[in-house]
Amino acid sequence: MKLDTSGLESFAPLSAPIDDLCPDLSAPPTFDLPRSADFDGFQKDAIQMVKPAKGTTTLAFIFKEGVMVAADSRASMGGYILGPGLYYVDSEGGRLKGTRFSVGSGSPYAYGVLDNGYRYDMSIEEAAELARRAIYHATFRDAASGGVASVYYVGPSGWKKLSGDDVGELHFRYYPVAPSPTEQEMSELSPA
Amino acid sequence: MSIFEYNGSALVAMVGKNCFAIASDRRLGVQLQTIATDFQRIFKIHDKLYIGLSGLATDVQTLYQRLAFRHKLYQLREERDMKPETFASLVSALLYEKRFGPYFCQPVLAGLGDDNVPFICTMDCLGAKELAKDFVVSGTASESLYGACESMYKPNMEPEELFETISQALLSSVDRDCLSGWGGHVFVV
């Protein structure tokens, strides 16, 4: 059987004329490699270094009015929004189309709240509140998520930021503390 | 993640004028997941002696139970409370007994000795004592705590000021650590 070796052919001509006007045309495609004695080890270390950098919670979902996107402030987005569609894309080349996604170390907690409260017919305010709550609950349980819950709406006329609330403040808004009778009180320091 | 970072903890103790303060965070987690926000890490041995234990939560609880047992026996035999220095040696010995299979805990002791002289010390998981005159720290937030205490501490503080200082040092340090937080417990004696 004759093997097809066309893929092994080099694109560079055997005698390359030195042409100052377009030097790249005749040169074979190349890219710089790092100067390292152990390139495989270097690649492995680089991958290991970014592995923990997925501590975050992000989510996005499609509903009647458009697309709602929310994230905590320790975030790096893993979802890409295309028109009325929603795609999940990851660094390993995976690509999925869907209506609800959550990405990051806090995503299981966000999914719990998102899946429970999701309806296609929601108003923008309801959808924003669902997104906000889902991020808040994820920041409560996940140590690697926290800070500010930002909520964005994407509609026919473009995107708009709806809110950016500190999750610490959201905690007391959702679970207000009933004032309990004080057992002991610190007295005010008199000015020295 | 090391075994000491499995549950997450933050502990600090400070010396004031004839008083001491000991404070801890309240989070109990399993790696990144938060399980409880009211976990107790500081325990009373007697009115003038408190021990805080950071590190693996199961060892925190077991070690406290063993130490409480030993102190109660001492109280029955000697008919008095243990001095903080003596208790520190007891903790150190108990930890070193497990030299080749240790408790994954780093204790912080705080007490008032004779004439109400404040005493604080910390130990590593094998019982190496470190006495200090100003403050001691322990836990996953220990590096932040060192910085915060170093800048906020001054000697001979009265109890009210000591309370403010130790609280602010604890809160600002745990804010920079994912594994500890969710409020604090502060004891001022």
Contacts of A146 in chain B (CB under 8 A): 178
Could you state, in order of their start, the residue ranges of all structural domains in chain A? Answer: 57-174
Confidence (pLDDT) at A92:
86
Q: Each residue of A78-87: pLDDT tens digit?
A: 555 556 678 8
pLDDT grade for A71, boundaries at 50, 70 and 90:
confident
| Beta carbons of B34 and A55 less than 8 Å apart | no
Q: What pLDDT sits at residue A191?
A: 59
Beta bridge partners of A59: A70, A102
Range name among A71-75, A126-130, B101-105, B111-115 with the lowest pLDDT average = A71-75
Helices (runs of H) and strands (runs of E) counted in chain A: 5, 8
**Using the beta-carbon criterion (under 8 Å), do A189 and B161 form an inter-chain contact?**
yes
Strands of the A85-89 sheet, one edge to the other: A79-82, A85-89, A95-97
Stretch B74-95: mean pLDDT = 96
- Report whether B188 contacts B34 (CB < 8 A): no
Q: What is the mean pLDDT of residues A16-36?
A: 66
Q: With CB atoms and an 8 Å threshold, state whether B178 touches A144.
A: yes
Query: Is B50 strand, coil or helix?
Result: strand
Burial zone of A88 (CB within 10 Å; 0-12 exposed, 13-18 middle, 19+ buried): middle
**Greater pLDDT, A37 or B35:** B35
Tally of CA atoms within 13 A in the half-sphere of A150 that contains its CB: 14
A77, pLDDT greater than 80: no
Cα separations in angstroms, B181 against A146, A164, B100, B174, B176: 12, 22, 31, 5, 9
A30 counts as catalytic: no
pLDDT in tens, A155-182: 888 899 999 999 999 999 999 988 777 6
From residue B183, alpha-carbon distances to A80, A184, B18, B39, B171 in Å are 37, 18, 26, 10, 7
Distance CA A111, CA A118 (A): 10
Look at residue A58 and give its three-state secondary structure. Answer: strand
Q: How confident is the model at residue A74 (pLDDT cuts 50, 70, 90)?
A: low
pLDDT band at A101 (very low <50, low <70, confident <90, very high): very high
Rounded to an integer, what distance in angstroms lies between the CA atom of residue B53 and that of residue B61? Answer: 9
pLDDT tens digits, one per residue of B99-158: 999 999 999 999 999 999 999 999 999 999 999 999 999 999 999 999 999 999 999 999
Chain B environment of A55 (Cβ under 8 Å): 32, 178
The chain-wide mean pLDDT, for chain A, equals 81
Inform me whether the C-beta atom of residue B18 falls under 8 Å from chain A C-beta atoms: no
Q: Which CATH class is domain A57-174?
A: alpha beta
**Total Cβ atoms within 10 A of residue B37:** 14
- Asked if residue A105 has pLDDT above 80, the reply is yes
Query: In what helix (H) or strand (E) does residue B142 lie, and over which residues does it extend?
Result: helix B142-152
Return the pLDDT at A85: 79
pTM more than 0.95: no
Question: To probe the interface with B, which of A148, A186, A187, A190 has the most B CB atoms within 10 Å?
Answer: A186
Q: Between A142, A144, A189, which is nearest B160 by CB?
A: A189
> Rounded to a whole number, what is the distance in Å from the CA of A143 to chain B's nearest CA?
5
- Percent of chain B clearing pLDDT 70 (strictly above): 100
Q: Closest Cα to residue B2, out of B96, B92, B106, B91?
A: B106
Q: Please give, rounded to a whole number of angstroms, the shortest distance from the CA of B16 to a CA of chain A.
A: 16
Q: Residue A190 pLDDT > 70, yes or no?
A: no
pLDDT at B94: 95
Nearest to A164 by CA among A132, A127, A123: A132
